[in-house]
Copies of this chain bind each other. A is one copy, B any other.
């Protein structure tokens, strides 16, 4: 008997195999149910999985069509830096560089939705892989959204790990870019001036309240971000 996963895989094969090219109208659920000898609900379950994966578009009355791809989506997993390093057998070390409460600069205030004189917590820290600087973590934490951070020293635990463990978040935005290292970044990361760096800027919200904004700066010469990349629509 065909389960909804079997049906899903068969339909997936018809799509990726070219039997049902982009734009093609897929048979109605009732017809497929008859073909596979099951209920329409079971076909519906399989089809919804394909729709969730973005492989087909469904509209009542109009039916189901194979999507014409406009872009590629890929899932990016950004691990905790400690796990990333130890996971490939490296030696990890954490170092707190600076921790202070201050009025953030204009661009950070905007990101965190703070008023002109609001203070926030600034934590600058370094993550080492095998003794060499691997990531500079330049973070601002909203004191109002995360009051607990004011009593945490961040001497033993990095803000990244602490926040991930202690503070739920509901939304995040990432910006990836390549840049020249600034003088301070070069000094802390032990790079030559103007060496390229890979920058991940992330802002995190908890139901529309900004929680934290961080700049993660990596030496370009020894950092790569790799996607997980399951087949689209895999269950």
Contact = CB atoms under 8 A, between A and B. Distances in A.
Nearest to A203: B229
B72 A74 contact: no
Interface residues of A, number: 56
Most buried by B among A21, A78, A198: A198
How many copies of this kind of chain does the complex include? 2
Given A75-B75, A76-B74, A176-B225, A232 B83 contact: no
Given A75-B76, A78-B74, A225 B175 contact: yes
A43 interface: no
Contacts of A15: 168
A171 B23 CA distance: 20
A168 B172 CA distance: 31
A75 B77 contact: no
Interface stretch (A91-99, A108-116, A141-149, A177-185): A177-185
Interface string A190-228: 000011111100000011000000000010110111110
Contact of A170 (B171, B177, B232): B232
Query: Which A-B residue pairs are the 5 nearest by beta carbons?
Result: A178-B220, A196-B196, A178-B178, A178-B198, A176-B225
